[in-house]
Amino acid sequence: MRRARREANARHQRSPEGVRFDTNSYSVPPAHVLDTLTLTADDRRVRLLDAAGAVLADHARSWGRRQTIELPEHRQAILAQKRGARESKGRDRLCAAAPEIIRLFERWLEMGCNVGSMTSRTLVLLDLYGHDLFAAAVRDVLARGTWDIGAISQLCEQRRLSASRPVPVAISLGAHVPERDVIPHALESYDALRRR
């Protein structure tokens, strides 16, 4: 049995998913993600060792190409860390508007989605449709067992139509535009200007 031993260099052989070996990515325990590890591989196993030689991860070797091989305990540790991390302001706003949305965040983490991107896209819907329509759409999406932002958008729009609310328009003014109140006035003054 041929045995290969490679040093996993933190800069060159690491990927966001873990340690790369033969085009595949093998998960690393989150506590050791920044450590320099030793990778040993044979025909059946890929092992990651710490500096003292203790086995940190033991994976079945994959002969596929560009696969992500992940141990369930590594995924669970990542999820626990993310849940324990300080919630971002965007997540706080979404949770305040629709507390049930935390289940969507968990689903996005499990699916490996970019939670930051999903949060910012969902915040756009909250800002466009308001708290009540948004919260109702989130409840509907969860009841249907989906996690897609497009579904939330469609449900927000359906609820807006049934409530006969105006079409939401996102207006983004640059930082150079000062916030001002516009005081309406009588439009007859325009007619007077036209007559001159």
Residue 196 placed within a domain: no
Q: Determine the pLDDT at residue 136.
A: 93
Residue 194 placed within a domain: no
Residue 175 placed within a domain: no
Half-sphere exposure of 181 (CA within 13 A, CB side): 3
Whether residue 90 sits in one domain with residue 58: no
How many domains is the chain partitioned into structurally?
2
Whether residue 110 sits in one domain with residue 63: no
* SS3 category, 55: strand
Residue 36 placed within a domain: yes
Residue 91 placed within a domain: yes
Give the amino acid at 2. R
- Of 52-61, 84-93, 148-157, where does mean pLDDT reach its minimum? 84-93
Whether residue 122 sits in one domain with residue 59: no
Whether residue 44 sits in one domain with residue 67: yes
Tens of pLDDT, residue by residue over 4-30, are: 444 333 333 555 557 888 888 888 888
Whether residue 158 sits in one domain with residue 91: yes
Angle value at C-alpha 39, between 35 and 43, nearest 5 degrees = 160
Tens of pLDDT, residue by residue over 101-148, are: 989 988 888 888 888 888 889 999 998 898 889 999 999 999 998 888
Whether residue 94 sits in one domain with residue 45: no
* Mean pLDDT, residues 87-95: 75
Whether residue 57 sits in one domain with residue 8: yes
Q: Which domain holds residue 44?
A: 4-71
Domain end among 46, 71, 96: 71
24 φ/ψ angles, rounded to the nearest 5 degrees: -100, 155
Domain end among 71, 99, 116: 71
Residue 172 placed within a domain: no
Whether residue 113 sits in one domain with residue 52: no
Half-sphere exposure of 57 (CA within 13 A, CB side): 27
Q: What percent of the chain has pLDDT over 70?
A: 85
